[in-house]
Amino acid sequence: MHTVTTTKEKAPTKKSTAENGSTNVGMYLTTVEAAKYLNLSRQFLEAARYRADGTGPPYIKLERAVRYRRSALDAWMTAHEHSPERPLVVATGRLANGLPR
């Protein structure tokens, strides 16, 4: 007698948009997805929303649901980009090396 063994195939798991690399600019991300997309912690984004001082990325709030637009996240990151041509300005209005702007 032959014994037949069957293996149960796993159904493919659905990846979130942050994991599958979708480039749809109109896509809305949850806080967890936005954090993964930006390589930041969920807590960082939540704290930035709580501070409400404009230092965090823009978000959309519908009732208790919070969503981030991917294009807004990209723009926010670009606005925080520093390079030798664009030196870091600290809160005092002086450059990071102490010289006035």
Q: Running DSSP on this structure, what letter comes out for residue 39?
A: T
Question: How far apart are alpha carbons 99 and 63 in whole angstroms?
Answer: 46
Q: Which fold has domain 25-79?
A: Molybdopterin biosynthesis moea protein, domain 2 (3.90.105)
Domain ranges in the chain are 25-79
- 3-state secondary structure at position 63: coil
Q: What are phi and psi of 51, to 5 degrees?
A: -65, -40
Q: Which two three-digit tokens encode residue 85?
A: 């041509």
Question: What amino acid is encoded at 41 in this protein?
Answer: S
Tens-digit pLDDT profile for residues 40-99: 999 999 999 999 888 899 999 999 999 999 999 999 999 988 877 766 665 555 555 555
Question: How far apart are alpha carbons 25 and 100 in whole angstroms?
Answer: 38
Predicted model pTM = 0.59
pLDDT at 46: 94
Q: What is the dihedral of CA 32, 74, 51, 54, to 10 degrees?
A: -160
